[in-house]
Every structure is written in C-alpha cells, then in structure tokens.
Amino acid sequence: MPVKLPRVMTGAELQSMLKSSVNFKSLGGVRVPGLKLGEDKLKWWREAKVGMFIHWGLYSILGRGEWARFNERIPYAEYEQLASEFCPKDFSTDEWAQIASSLGANYMVMVARHHDGFALWDSPGSYLAFDSMHSAARRDFVKEFTASCRKYGMKVGYYYSPMDWRFPGYFDPERLKDNALLMKKQCYSQVNELVTRYGAPDILWYDGGWLAHKGSDTSSSWFWEPDRLNRMVREHAPDCVINPRSGWEGDFYCDEGSAEVSGKIITVPWEKNLCLCSGASWGWMEDDPVQDLDWLIRMLVNVICRDGNILWNIGPDRNGKISPEIRARIAEFGAWIKQNGEAIYKTRGGPVEPVDGVFGTTFSGNRVYVHILDKAAFGQMRLQGLNANVLCACAPDGAPVPFTQTEEGVKIDVSRLADSTDTIVRLTIDKEPIPTVSEVYFSGKQ
C-alpha cells in the first residue's frame, strides 16, 4: 500500500488559511521519509507548553548582543581573547534550572554554540579548540546544564548553529570550498558530540543554516545535507524533538520574535520564540527593559489557544546571572501560571476558534477552558463551534458561572467575575473534543 504523503501547501496558502500573524521560519525544508516524529512521540512536548531559552557565551562579556562580533566587525584574534576572560564567578547552572522552574517552564534550551563558533562544552570537534574547556573557565557548561535540567525535572534542549563566522568559506562556500567543508565537518562532529556525550537530549534546536547571510536555512540544504545530519541524530537520540532550522522540515515549526499572535488555531506543531525583555537582543544587554506582566500573560494565552508552545528567552550576564528585574518578572509570571496551570498545561488549543483580542480556548479531556482577554466584548458574544452540550461552568475557584446554551451557541455571564488580564471560565462538556492535526508540508513558495 503506497505511503500517503502530506499535502503540499505554499506559504501564501498558509497565511490565507490561518489568517494569522504567525510567520513560520524555514518553510520548504528537505522531506525525509520516516524521520519526523509521530504525534505519540510529540505528546510530551505539546503538553509542556512553556520552555525557557538561554543565550549566553563570549558575547555576554561585551553586553552588546550575540551578533556583536559580526555587527561591529571585531577581528577574530581580538574576539578570541575574550575566552581568557570567560570565567563566571559564583555561578551554577542550578540557578538557571531554578529560575526556569519558577517561570513555570517544563523544558530548557541552552545555546550550546552560537554563530561566533565558541562552544560551551569540551568539544574535540571544535575548530582550533574554541570552547569553554579551553577558556579561563575550564568548565563543560553543557554537561553542567544537562545535569541541572535533569535534577530539576526539566527536559533538555540544545541550540546549535551550523554556521560559524570564523570560516571565510561560510561567506563564499563555492570559491572557498575546502574551508567551507571544514566548517561542515565541525558541524557534524559537534552535533554528534551533543547527542552522544550527555545522554540523548530531548530537543535539538538548530539556527543559522543559511550561507553567507543570504537566502534561508532551506536554500542552503544542498551544502549541509540535513537529511544525513539528522539521520545521524536519530541514530543516537531517536525521540529527540528537532526544529526545522537545519534545512530539514523538522518536527515542529518556529515563529520568532515579539510580534503579537493572531488568527486561527494552527493545526501543526509550532512554537513561539521570544524574549522576556525588549527583543532588541537575545544575548545580555544592560538595562534592556523587561516586558510587563500583562503582556506576558496575553502572549502566552494567544499562543496556547492556537495550540502552540512558548519559549521565553533570557540573556544572563557575563557571570551567568539573571538581573533582579527579570527574576522579579519571572516570579510574578510563575505565580500566575501556577495558579492557572490547569487551563494551560497538558491542554490543546481549541476546540473553539479564537477571536483576536477577545478570547480563546484550550481543552483537556471533557473540560474546555475559556480564556477571556476582553470581558466587555466577550459579554456580547456566544461561543460557537463547541459541538457539545455544556454540563456546567465555573470559575477557577469552583464558583458556578451562569450560562445558557441554545442552537446559536453558549452565552456565558462573566459580569460578576473579577477583572483580570485573562479571565478563565471552565466548561465541563458531555464529550471530549479531538485535537485537529494536519499532515501538511509547507513548501515556502508564494
């Protein structure tokens, strides 16, 4: 019996279908039969909902963002000297795991190596031994990070950039082929180290598969051969969830940046990646303003009601420390999410399509959670598309909420509920909704 292939859909069709602000990166990746994880293997990731991203490296010494070396055209020899200063004081990766736990995260992704080429582990595959074990620190931070994640019950994720600014061949791979192939060799060696050294990771998060800062991750797949690269990953980490940024289509899609999320429920696995601060940089910058709590809550609600995960980024300083302002905001957000976790964790987006700026829904079993962002507007509306009978409605504390259900939909009286950024009403219905999952291949063509 022939294998049923996913429907091919262009980027233009995607935007039309979703009527969404979401902008997936790396559409049109290489398709590799049997490489993608099935829904059963993705279940934990879909239910985790919240993760914490960490950008930290030599660039944190400068405090001008992770692209400082390239943007400022810092000579390699000068930048390399930063390794002699890279020795964080009074630092333990346990601090990161504790902060992630207070955020309400269930997984962590650490930048193991960014585009500057500096690896945060003892890496024999690193070109010219440019890694943390050969820095002033003489520490394997990936090893420490992995142990801390597992100690605090977090799933382990590694960010890895195939590209490396130290190689002239990156900027001209056809003319400087041999040099470019050295960079490619480093990539394969280091990815192999990451998936074999510390036990199988739960997430592999690529970034920077494009060449010469032109095109996209997918347009450079001829060079990286992501099918071969990720088959190697699967040999050692068969259940690892992999993003699409290597030029392979990946197990889930990514929407990057702080743009607001709108539109319909997204029926493929996806993740929103954004900063807890302004978003001007992923790496540490002094006095980078922290987003307010209401904005964080609204962003989370808009993502999970469209069936996505959210990966919050923080940039520790040169000593691996998180600023008091960020820690305070994380504590506030974590307290809110702990109070409302039933409506967030182990849920799926839907079954009712969200209305931008007004409400969205999540569900688990026969419970539907209505997340109301605008009480006044919601009070004039009816829930439509529930396709089930509502048995009862209540607030998170269990207090009953009046409602009526007719052929026109469900009218919920929220007038007596306290004002909140996200006013949640729990509906118990007479049958369990089924998550909508699409087998779609986004070609990226317009």
What CATH number has the domain bearing residue 368? 2.60.40.1180
pLDDT tops 70 at residue 277? yes
Q: Residue 171: is it exposed, middle or buried by C-beta count within 10 angstroms (0-12/13-18/19+)?
A: middle
* Residues 6 or more apart whose Cβ sits within 8 Å of residue 292: 329
Q: Are 356 and 382 members of one domain?
A: yes
- β-strand 390-394 against 403-406: which pairing, if any? unpaired
Question: What does the block give as tokens for 307?
Answer: 């069936």
Distance between CA 443 and CA 445 in Å, rounded? 5
Q: Are 97 and 234 members of one domain?
A: yes
Instruction: Compute the average pLDDT of residues 93-114.
Output: 98
Q: Are 285 and 378 members of one domain?
A: no
pLDDT band at 1 (very low <50, low <70, confident <90, very high): very low
Distance between CA 252 and CA 307 in Å, rounded? 12
Q: Are 82 and 156 members of one domain?
A: yes
Judge whether 395 lies within some domain: yes
For the segment 175-193, what is each residue's pLDDT rounded down to a tens digit?
Answer: 999 999 999 999 999 999 9
Question: What does the block give as tokens for 179?
Answer: 């040099």
With H, G, I as helix, E, B as strand and everything else as coil, classify residue 111.
Answer: strand
User: What's the mean pLDDT when you consider all of the chain?
Assistant: 95
Q: Are 402 and 265 members of one domain?
A: no
**How would DSSP label each residue in 153-184?**
TPEEEEEE-S--TT-HHHH-TTTTHHHHHHHH
Instruction: Compute the average pLDDT of residues 438-444.
Output: 83
Q: Are 161 and 191 members of one domain?
A: yes
Residue among 251, 315, 322, 319 nearest 114 (CA): 315
Q: Are 141 and 167 members of one domain?
A: yes
**How would DSSP label each residue in 194-252?**
HHHSSS--SEEEE----BTTBS-TGGGHHHH-HHHHHHHHHHH-TT-EE-STTSB--SS
Q: How many domains does the chain have?
A: 2
Instruction: Compute the average pLDDT of residues 207-219.
Output: 93
- pLDDT, residue 7, reads 73
Judge whether 172 lies within some domain: yes
Find the angle CA(412)-CA(418)-CA(421) to the nearest 5 degrees: 90
pLDDT tops 60 at residue 2? no
Identify the H or E element spanning 7: strand 7-9
Instruction: Compute the average pLDDT of residues 70-83.
Output: 97
Distance between CA 92 and CA 106 in Å, rounded? 19
Location of structure tokens 């859909």: 9
Q: Are 313 and 355 members of one domain?
A: no
Q: Could you list the residue range(s) of the whole structural domain that residue 370 is in?
A: 348-429
Q: Are 371 and 314 members of one domain?
A: no
Q: Are 139 and 257 members of one domain?
A: yes
